[in-house]
Structure 1
Amino acid sequence: MPILAIAGGTSASLGRAITTSLLQNTKQWNAVILSRTTRAPTWLRAVDPDSKRTQIRKVDYMSIESLHAALKDVDTVVSVTSAVDGTQPQIQKNLLHAAVQAGCKRFAPSQWGFGPKGWENVKSLKWASDGVWEECLAQKDKIECTRFNQGVFMNYIGHGIYPVSSQVDKDASLEMMKAGGGYMAGEDDACQGLLRQGDLKDGSGAFLMGLKNGIAEFPKKDDGSWPRVTLTSLKDVGRFVVASLDLPSGRWEENMTMVGETLTMGELLAHAEAVTGRKFEVSAVTQADLEKKIARLSEDDFMARMWTEFKLAYIRDLDDEVVLKPVMNQLCPDLKPMGVREYMETFFHGK
């Protein structure tokens, strides 16, 4: 049985999404989770309590030798690491070279988010990608590589709808996750491990809009029109990644973009107002507004600069930057991702 290695796979977001999808949607693959610790998170104990199909292997990400040993018998390596200490690009390169040495067939570095132009145009994304893809291309005769891109995580819409469920004790959360396939009903199922890092002024941690408080901050183009945005839920990202494992050799494209739904900010607003039954307070920001803001921000204020750069990217409204091509949707036509309206109705009305 082939093995998928998920680097950083104990994470509550992408690691959980990919692993739970693998356990639920295929019996043809098992998973090895690479981690700095062998301690299994609660969600993993909920979905694979006896470790029948998953195994955690402790690694030193800065050691190719350590990674090489951990990748024994692995077919495909997908990285979801998020090292914010400056080592993220080197970790991806080490994983790549260890995968080549171990004879792995496929590798995907941890570059989740915008399309290929986004990694070139958005300065705040470069901390994670510096030289990584170029290194992948240099190894393309030895290993098949791709970048998985999904746009904005749809789960930002879920922030602030529910009380934070982390207050549930460990025993209760384990039982709830067993019942929910690795997710607790409520906040956890809506946000799917996505941290409350958005910059919405209500402090909910949402990005672009908050359903509970009925507010939105949308970038608007100079001609007065609303730009487009591609959103995909974390669970659907996991499903697409797992579906890609069964594509024949050579069918992985350099950019395996996936799309939950692409729509304009205006359409996003219309769905939100229809589902919540209220008129939203909308703040529209222009390119000039955002350029003035970023000029005032400290270079050390990473998150504020990132959100501002993202909104500037939306105003550019470019294909392959913030508007993604449904490459994986076409390669895996039986996989039907959740759309924005369905997400809102599921979690806003289901609270």
Structure 2
Amino acid sequence: MVKIAIAGPGLLAREVIDGLVAAGKHEIILLSRRDAAPEELVKGTTWVKVDFSDKEALTQVLRGVHTVLSFIVVHKDTDNAAQKTLIDAAVEAGVRRIAPSEWSLANLDQFGWYHGKLEVREYLAEKNRDRKVIEYCLFQPGWFLNYLGGMRKISTHIQPTPFTLVDHTEGHARAPGSVANKITYTAIHDVVNVVVKAIDYEGEWPTIGGINGNTLSLAEEIAIGERVRGKPYEVETLQLDDLRAGIVNTSWLPAIDQPGAAPSDNEALARHILRSLLLNAADGSGTVSDEWNQIFPDYQFTKAEDFLAGIFADA
């Protein structure tokens, strides 16, 4: 048994927390800026209110902690102050391992809201530049396979999203220039299971921690969808020159509803997010590596076709 600290217990964090609690092997503390609401308390864990700007107090909380998992929301962490303080306190407290708030792709060039992750990567690398002071892993599972279920809520905590390039509910797809572009999808429960196994792994964590459930070209994903749904998909091919010029010429725009925002602002944000996803795939950046697959070669990841067949069996 070791002591695990989870910083920023949001939706993905809650999925991981549930997995760790179910495993029943470790002491788990949840670090948050605020007191817990009654519904946020999780049996088998201890909620600890902390000030992520107070390194000294945070260091005391982390004394005796073996592993820190961070789920701090990067685009809300001004100058990455909270994560940097968490890293500094972990080093000072003698924490063995830390996973910064990654949980996405390796290449984030098209996602400005994720650029804080790049700075945190550099910060950790600099910490270990002269000598290793803390072991860390960038857990990178690609996109969640669950998102391909459309707007069905098919995980315990994480919400569905309309932002996918293939809509298996409606049977249509967008391709940024070519259907040969590839994307990695990993089921949320597979991400959780790998993290739980990684906690118990006695070897050194890989710095880059790809978790690769499925890497599919858009053509392969469309073909799977057509087999499962039993109908041909309509495919729009968007021109890369248009996308790079900021033009998203599509008949199918995901719906987004920001509280208090004008419809035109919601549409502009939807186009911005969709353009980023399309360019990410077109740049060959929609995939991740497979370090954790190699470490746990016997682990069987959920396959996209099995997942979609289960979701749309009665559709």
- Could you say which TM-score interval applies, normalised by the shorter chain? 0.7 to 0.9
Judge conservation of contact 1:40–1:56 (CA < 8 Å) in 2: no
1:1-351 matched pairs, under 5 angstroms: 1-9=1-9, 11-12=10-11, 14-24=12-22, 26-39=23-36, 42=39, 48=42, 51=43, 53-87=44-78, 89-115=80-106, 118-119=107-108, 121-140=109-128, 141-160=132-151, 162=152, 187=153, 190-197=154-161, 205-221=162-178, 225-249=179-203, 251-293=204-246, 304-317=271-284, 321-349=285-313
Aligned counterparts of 2:217 and 2:295: Cα–Cα separation in 1? 25
Which runs of structure 1 show a deviation greater than 4 angstroms over 4 or more consecutive aligned residues? 294-298
Distance across 1 between alignment mates of 2:278 and 2:199:
33
> In the aligned structure 2, how far is the partner of 1:268 from the partner of 1:135?
37
Q: Which amino acid aligns with 1:254?
A: T
> Partners in 1 of 2:61 and 2:101 — Cα distance?
18
- Cα drift, residue 192 of structure 1: 4.5
Counterpart Cα distance in 1 of 2:78 and 2:300: 36
Instruction: Give the aligned residue type for 1:71.
Output: L
Any gaps of 5 or more consecutive residues in structure 2? 250-263
Shift of 1:239: 1.1
Number of the residue aligned with 2:255: none
Read off the aligned partner of 1:233 and give its amino acid letter: A
- TM normalised by structure 1 equals 0.76
Q: Residues of 1 paired with 2:156 and 2:242: CA distance? A: 32
Question: Against the structure 1 CA distance between its residues 304 and 70, is the aligned structure 2 distance closer, same or farther, given a 3 Å change threshold?
Answer: farther
The 1-side partners of 2:52 and 2:8 are apart by: 10
Of structures 1 and 2, the one with the larger relative CO (CA 8 A, separation 6+) is: 1
- Secondary structure of the 2:46 match is strand
Deviations 1:147-173 (A, max 9, x none): 11011111211222x4xxxxxxxxxxx
**Counterpart residue type for residue 32 of structure 1:** I
Q: Deviations over 1:172-218 (max 9, x none)?
A: xxxxxxxxxxxxxxx2xx14433444xxxxxxx24112222222223
Post-superposition Cα deviations, 1:133-156, rounded to whole Å, max 9, x if no partner, equal: 121112232110111101111121
Q: Which amino acid aligns with 2:172?
A: I
Q: For 1:120-143, what per-residue CA distance to the aligned partner results, in whole angstroms no more than 9, with x for missing partners?
A: x33525442252112111223211
Contact 2:238-2:248 within 8 A present in 1 as well: no
The letter for the 1-side match of 2:212 is: V
Q: How many residues align?
A: 297
Contact 1:92–1:109 (CA under 8 A) maintained in structure 2 = yes
Deviations along 1:27-66, whole A, 9 cap, x unmatched?
A: 3323211122332574x66xx5xx3x31111122232234
SS at match of 2:245: helix
Rounded to whole Å, the distance in 2 between the matches of 1:144 and 1:242 is 17
Q: Do the aligned residues in 1 keep the contact of 2:74 with 2:114 (CA within 8 Å)?
A: no
Work out the CA distance in 1 between the residues paired with 2:147 and 2:243. Answer: 21
TM normalised by structure 2 equals 0.84
Report sequence identity in percent: 27
Write the distance in 1 (CA, Å) between the matches of 2:79 and 2:71: 10
Report deviation, 1:106: 0.5
- The amino acid of 1:36's aligned partner reads R
Distance in 2 (CA, whole Å) between partners of 1:41 and 1:336 is: 36
Residue 88 (structure 1) shift:
6.4
Find the aligned partners of 2:19 and 2:198 in 1 and give their Cα distance. 12
Structure 1 residue identity aligned to 2:281 = Y
Could you say if the C-alpha distance between residues 29 and 66 of structure 1 is closer, same or farther in structure 2, counting changes exceeding 3 Å? Answer: same
